Every structure is written in C-alpha cells, then in structure tokens.
Amino acid sequence: MTIRAILRDGIIQPVEPLPPGWADGQELIVGTAVTADYLLDTNHISRAVTPGSSVRQRITDLRQRGVKVGTCVPVLCEIEAGIQQVSRPDLYRLNLERLLRQIRVWPIDPSTARI
C-alpha cells in the first residue's frame, strides 16, 4: 500500500486516503521500522542545518521527549555534494557538524536497503 504524505511545519503528515481503520489524529507509522523513530531524508537534513529552522526545532523537541532521530550515510553523501553550492560552505559545514552531534547516522547495508 502507498500512503502519500506532505511536510507541514517540519512534521510529515499523511494525505488522504488513510488506511481503513485509522482514526483521525491516530499515529500512523509508514513503512517498516528500522532503528529510528524518525529517519530523515536529504530535504529534512538540509533544512535542519539552519539553526532556528522549524525542522531543527522539531528535532530538538523530539529528542527531548526521548524519540530517536537519525539519518543515513547516502543522505550525507547528497548533502556533501551540495555544500559547495551554498553561499557560505564553511558556515554550512559547521552547522551540519553541530546538527550531526544531535542525531544518529545509520550505515546502509544491503539488508537495510531491502526494507
């Protein structure tokens, strides 16, 4: 089953239709769990690099509640490829390093890729 979702204020929200039996407001977990409660993609990480961004604040709030937040190595490869295109690569890298101290980075192996 495919469930579409959108990002609103740093929160991924499902778009109708929801699976049968799901009540409005009930937590919806999409896909197979790995080790994170939140596995962030390139778009989320690139927004979270900026201190004070809504995504960065959401990550902080989640971590304070004990929620695991992470990303994976392929996302970091995409971020690295784009760093030279920003106006201040040195500042971007500093902010990225600070962000990465707050989240987990999971390696990807073939068994993980099949999930």
Domain ranges in the chain are 25-113
Separation of alpha carbons 88 and 50, rounded Å: 12
Percent of the chain past pLDDT 70, that is, above it, reads 64
Residues 9-32: what's their mean pLDDT?
54
- Could you report the per-residue pLDDT of 34-90, keeping only the tens digit for each? 444 888 999 999 999 999 999 999 999 999 888 889 998 889 999 999 998 999 999
| DSSP label of 49 | T
| Residue 1 pLDDT class (50, 70, 90 cuts) | very low
Task: Confirm if 11 and 58 have CB atoms less than 8 A apart.
Answer: yes
Is the pLDDT confidence value at 26 over 60? Answer: no
The top-level CATH class assigned to 25-113 is alpha beta
Separation of alpha carbons 16 and 5, rounded Å: 9
